Amino acid sequence: MQIGPHPLTGNLFVAPMAGVTDRPFRQLCKRLGATLAVSEMMSSQPHLRGSAKSRRRADHAGEVEPICVQIAGADPAMMADAARYNVDLGAQVIDVNMGCPAKKVCNVLAGSALLRDEPLVGRILDAVVRAVDVPVTLKIRTGWDPQRRNAVGVARIAHAAGVRLLAIHGRTRACGFTGNAEYDTIAAVKDEVSIPVVANGDIDSPEKAREVLARTRADAVMIGRAAQGRPWIFREIRHFLHTGEHLAPPEVAEIHQLLRVHLQELHAFYGEECGVRVARKHVAWYTKRLAGSAQFRQRLNTLERGEEQVAAVDRYFEQLGALDRRLTYTEEEPAA
């Protein structure tokens, strides 16, 4: 599979997630087997470009190529300008967000709200594709609600506009993240267009990845929430798809070191004060359902300095490693 001039060595993508897929997380997932990682969405509003949040999201220093930046908005001219702006900052692929279900995004008629206006979808995609000389991709849902699943029609528009790859979350905007993702619509899109199609939604295990690839005949799968606190899921899926066998659970010592480096990268990327706050949620995801994790997280959330946070993680994982060499998950303990 290839996106424009960029050959891809696998079929496992990291879904864009606001507040999660920052540069440290994208790099980590790529080191652990992900083929492509899409950035957090960048607003097309010019007045937001100077904010600290936007400047961090536009920072791709040292990132493994291809660098894929997602943009969001509802005005064709502004979206075209945002595409040019991000290419000038190093983006090698521009991804258009028409899949975000968040109210604050849909209330300004962006994200998945655009699926209700197919002519506007076409104008936006035409404008963005014409504006840049890098490949343009698109992320959508299956429709606005179960009564209006129009992903096939949107896919035709995207294909005609010159979009080079289409990722589809198997839920409508109305569904949010509730219920089960459905894959029949993704399969119908795959039958309709010749560009690569990526299936997204509820892919949380090697078996589920294989099942979704078979059911949809998609070219790749995109993983979001299941990678939170478990970025090694990409190597687990890759190994299973290639061999039909499962990798052994990771060793405690390896995950300890992985998390330790992740924390240090977050502290450096955000600065200590903000980095410590951002790191708390990642530590919570890493340690969920591990022995003694509820009490550990409660203590961790009182710490304000990066070195204290790293030292607390060191102590916890040393204790965990004394219990078992490999990660062993249990029922989540009640908060202390």
Q: Are 219 and 198 in contact (CB under 8 A)?
A: yes
Report angle CA 279, 281, 287 to the nearest 5 degrees.
100
Query: 29, 100, 106, 175: which one is catalytic?
Result: 100
Task: For residues 12 and 75, give the distance between their C-alpha atoms in angstroms, rounded to a whole number.
Answer: 31
Q: Which two tokens stand for residue 306?
A: 């990066």
Q: Are 105 and 72 in contact (CB under 8 A)?
A: yes
- The single-letter code of the amino acid at 189 is V
- What is the number of alpha carbons within 13 Å of residue 266 lying toward its C-beta? 28
106 as an active site residue: the answer is no
Q: Are 39 and 68 in contact (CB under 8 A)?
A: yes
Q: Which two tokens stand for residue 133?
A: 């000389």
Q: For residue 311, give the 3-state DSSP assignment.
A: helix
H or E stretch covering 223 = strand 220-223
Task: For residues 276 and 309, give the distance between their C-alpha atoms in angstroms, rounded to a whole number.
Answer: 7
Task: For residues 238 and 70, give the distance between their C-alpha atoms in angstroms, rounded to a whole number.
Answer: 25
Q: Which residues carry out catalysis?
A: 100
